[in-house]
A and B are shown apart, each in its own frame.
Chain A
Amino acid sequence: MNIRNLFVTAFRSLAKNKMRSALTSLGIIIGVASVIMMVGIGNSARVAVRDKVYTYGANAMSIDSDRPFTEKDLERLRRTTSYIRYITPMIGGRVVNIKYENRFIASRIRGVNNDFFRIQEWPATYGRYFTELEILSYEKVAILGDSARLALFGNASPIGRIILVNNVPFQVIGSLSELGQAFSGRDQDNVIIIPYTTAGLKIEGRRDFNEIYASTYSEDLVGKTADEIRRSLRAERSIPAGQQDGFTVKTSKEKLEMAEYISKTLAILLAGIASISLIVGGIGIMNIMLVSVSERTREIGIRMAIGARKRDILLQFLIEAVTLSAAGGIVGITLGIIIYLVITIAVGWPFLFSVFSIAISFIFSGAVGVFFGYYPARKASSLKPIDALRYE
């Protein structure tokens, strides 16, 4: 019996019980659809995180400390390390009320120096960055993120306008290009950026700060520089060996690794869930194939009487099981891709079409058919011709 005939036979007998076949494949459909969906979402999430981390700057790092930094710390870090290219205080993150004419928005404020824009590789679309003089003389000047600008000024030019930040008047000198949503969903463009000196004096009411952003000349210097910073700060603060830092240096790379670790763990977890549903689907197939074998015992007897060998019968039922599970696999793949596509559109992540995961899912669903179809097929093929023929 050749393969074509076997498949025709399998399709026919499955078509006889359309409803039953469909319900039997459901387990596989759900299993495969979730594999496709999860793998896709995992990949998209990873890419999305990587994109976000790189907008923060691949060479960047942040230093957080409970004990505040002063401007002297910045200079010392520049001196005692070899590869810091840009370094800026980072003040705030505090939410402020901004008013322009009759428009109000709530926005996040940051006090920085001009290095900030270079670390983040964040170009201005209107106006300019700060001048040294503005920083030194606590000028009340502001640069707006794209969505803050849009909310306050629409399509009009913001340059030179006076806005009220918590009732303190500031002059807008520039605005920045759009960064988009952060991975957390926060709008990164709803910010107002002012000189760190001004932020300390007018907003925070203190001159020191708890966070520093820095970047190196290249990505491979990040780790080394982070170590140098750690050593320098420990020495400066005379922290004895064995005692905790009291500050943390976080690099983009570490953030990226963390994100990848989380998405990998998630993927493993979800793969586990998916394989359970594949197993349940496989058991469903086995069950229905056993029913089918006993329903069709006479048919098996007739086939044996006219010369079907054991392996012909075995193959017939095995192919039927594989057809069932592979068809479930195809439907599941299609369904999974559709759901995945809808989710990526809704969340705004990239849609990554993975031929590999589709191939793997398809092969896997076929394998489930072989594995769970073998026992019933074996049972069918080991019937004695006369017993099968006499079966009522």
Chain B
Amino acid sequence: MKNVIEVRNLVKTYFLSDEVSVQAIRGISMSVEKGEFLAIMGASGSGKSTFMNILGFLDSLTGGSYLLDGVEQASLDDDRKAEIRNSKIGFVFQGFNLLSRTSALENVELPMIYRGGARPSEVRRKARELLAMVGLSGREDHHPNRLSGGEQQRVAIARSLINDPAIILADEPTGNLDTRNTAEIMGIFSRLNRELGITIILVTHEPEVADYTGRRIVFRDGLIVQDVQFRKSPRRGVK
């Protein structure tokens, strides 16, 4: 099976000053196959977010290599990276990161507008469809401050899907949500993985959340200390 993500000896060091530096990731190697659904767990400060940000082309790496679909991250210029963030990867954050004073519909449309090439009517139609898919029909014109946390996260998921990404990266997507909303969000992720074959990597503290996935990786102090596949990832409708 082909690996979408291939990480070798990845190192990330934050240089705080000339003398002080923090090594957030100290040499990680791992790979992710197409269509996998995996959870990253580990104590706070163990480097999970740092790792996700690198996978999501939001941050650069200090050492090692990261291949996405066989292409080395370091070889890409800023515009290419932006295009990959735009079309290949969907990011879902713990804090939702929606644009305030912008309607749910417009938040969802934005990545497609940045990609360009689509007619406004087409963008609108697709954004509506996705909002309907995450159960937010009729809330299109609501601004984020009038939506609950669970609803905001569903808008964020719809936004991450509008350019048909191959991968969704979700950094503690349910960290701010109650049990009911957590179950709903995880239900959506499972469906996306099962029905559309989207590769999903999510960070979580909660074992119940990790149970939705097929593989668990545990981080400690910038290293992987455990990597178990306890369920065969669904393969139906692989992208």
Binding site for B on A (CB under 8 A): 1-2, 5, 12, 16, 298-299, 301-312, 384-386, 389
List the 5 closest A-B pairs by CB distance, nearest first. Answer: A307-B86, A386-B59, A309-B82, A306-B111, A386-B58
- A79→B116 CA distance, assembly (Å): 86
Closest chain A CB from B166 CB (angstroms): 14
Q: List 23 A-B contacts (CB under 8 A).
A: A1-B114, A1-B116, A2-B116, A12-B102, A299-B99, A302-B97, A302-B98, A303-B99, A305-B58, A306-B111, A306-B159, A307-B82, A307-B114, A307-B115, A307-B163, A308-B114, A309-B82, A310-B78, A310-B82, A385-B58, A386-B53, A386-B58, A386-B59
> How far, in whole Å, are A301 and B95 apart by their CA atoms in the complex?
13
Is B239 an interface residue, CB under 8 A from the partner? no
Contact in complex: A309, B79 (CB < 8 Å) = yes
Complex interface: chain A residues within 8 A of B57 (CB): 385
Please indicate the chain B residues that have their CB under 8 angstroms from the CB of A5 in the complex.
113
Chain B interface residues toward A at CB < 8 A: 53, 56-59, 78-79, 82-83, 85-87, 91, 97-99, 101-102, 110-111, 113-116, 159, 163
Of the candidates A12, A302, A308, A386, which one forms a contact with B101 in the assembled complex, judged by CB atoms under 8 Å apart?
A12
Cβ–Cβ < 8 Å partners of B115 in chain A: 307
Contact B101 A16, beta carbon cutoff 8 Å? yes
Interface residue from B56, B87, B99 paired with A302 (Cβ < 8 Å): B99
Closest-CB distance, A10 to chain B (whole angstroms): 13
Given A1-B116, A386-B59, answer yes or no on A307-B97 (Cβ-Cβ < 8 Å). no
A305 contacts B114, C-beta separation under 8 Å: no
A16–B110 Cα gap in the complex (Å)? 19
Q: Which of B53, B79, B87, B99 contacts A310 (CB 8 A)?
A: B79
Total CB contacts across the A-B interface at under 8 A: 65
B23 CB, nearest partner CB in chain A, Å: 17
Given contacts A2-B116, A306-B86, A307-B87, 17 further A-B contacts (CB under 8 A): A1-B116, A5-B113, A12-B102, A299-B99, A304-B58, A304-B82, A305-B97, A306-B85, A306-B110, A306-B111, A307-B82, A307-B111, A307-B114, A308-B114, A310-B82, A311-B79, A386-B59
Interface residue SS majority, chain A: helix
A386 and B97 alpha carbons, distance in the complex (Å)? 13
Residue of B nearest to A299 (CB): B99
Measured between beta carbons, the chain B residues less than 8 angstroms from A16 are: 101
Within 8 Å by CB of B91, from A305, A308, A384, lies A305
Instruction: Report B95 CB to chain A, min CB distance, Å.
Output: 9
Contact residue among B85, B87, B102, B113 (Cβ-Cβ distance under 8 Å from A305): B85
Contacts of B83 in A (CB 8 A): 307, 309
Contacts of B59 in A (CB 8 A): 384-386
Contact A307 B101 (CB under 8 A): no
Residues in chain A near residue B159, CB distance under 8 A: 306
B residues near A389, Cβ cutoff 8 Å: 58, 97
Contact of A309 among B58, B78, B97, B102 (CB under 8 A): B78
Q: Are A308 and B82 in contact (CB under 8 A)?
A: yes
Closest to B163 in A: A307
With the chains together, A310 CA to B85 CA distance in Å?
A: 13
Q: Distance in Å from the Cβ of B162 to the closest Cβ of chain A?
A: 9
**Known pairs A1-B114, A385-B58; A307 contacts B99 (CB<8 A):** no
Write out the residue numbers on chain A whose beta carbons fall within 8 Å of the beta carbon of B97: 298, 301-302, 305, 389
A298–B113 Cα gap in the complex (Å)? 19
Q: In the complex, A304 Cα to B89 Cα: how many Å?
A: 12
With A and B bound together, what is the CA distance between A299 and B98 in angstroms? 9
Q: Assuming A12-B101, A16-B101, A299-B99, is B58 touching A306 (CB within 8 A)?
A: no
Taking the closest CB of chain A, its distance from the CB of B77, in whole angstroms, is: 10
A307 to B91, CA, bound (A): 10
Note all chain B residues with C-beta closer than 8 A to A385. 57-59, 85
Considering residues A307, A308, A310, A386, which has the most beta carbons from chain B within 10 angstroms of its beta carbon? Answer: A307
In the complex, what's the smallest C-beta–C-beta distance from A296 to chain B, in angstroms?
A: 10
Chain A: minimal CB distance from B41 (Å): 22
B86 — which chain A residues lie within 8 A by C-beta?
306-308
Q: Which residues on A sit within 8 Å (CB–CB) of B102?
A: 12
Among B57, B82, B87, B110, max chain A CB count under 10 A is at B82
Let me know if B114 and A306 touch, CB within 8 A.
yes
For A305, the chain B residues whose CB sits under 8 A away are 56, 58, 85, 91, 97
Q: Which residues of A contact B114 (CB under 8 A)?
A: 1, 303, 306-309, 312
- Report B-chain residues with C-beta under 8 Å of the C-beta of A386: 53, 58-59
Q: How far is the CA of A306 from the CA of B116 in the complex (A)?
A: 13
In the assembled complex, the CB of B161 is this many whole angstroms from the nearest CB of chain A, namely 12
Specify the chain B residue showing the minimal Cβ separation from A382: B78
Residues from chain B with Cβ under 8 Å of A301 in the complex: 97
Contacts of A309 in B (CB 8 A): 78-79, 82-83, 114
Shortest beta-carbon distance from B13 to chain A in Å: 14
Give min CB distance, B22 to chain A, whole Å.
14
Distance between Cα atoms of A308 and B78 in the complex (Å) = 10
Q: How far is the CA of A290 from the CA of B162 in the complex (A)?
A: 32
Find out whether the CB atom of B113 lies under 8 angstroms from the CB atom of A1.
yes
List the A side residues contacting B56 at CB < 8 Å: 305
For A2, A302, A306, A389, the residue with the greatest tally of chain B CB atoms inside 10 Å of its CB is: A306
Question: Chain A residues near B82 (CB, 8 Å)?
Answer: 304, 307-310
CA–CA, A310 and B56, complex, Å: 17
Instruction: Give the residues in chain B near A302, CB-CB below 8 Å.
Output: 97-99
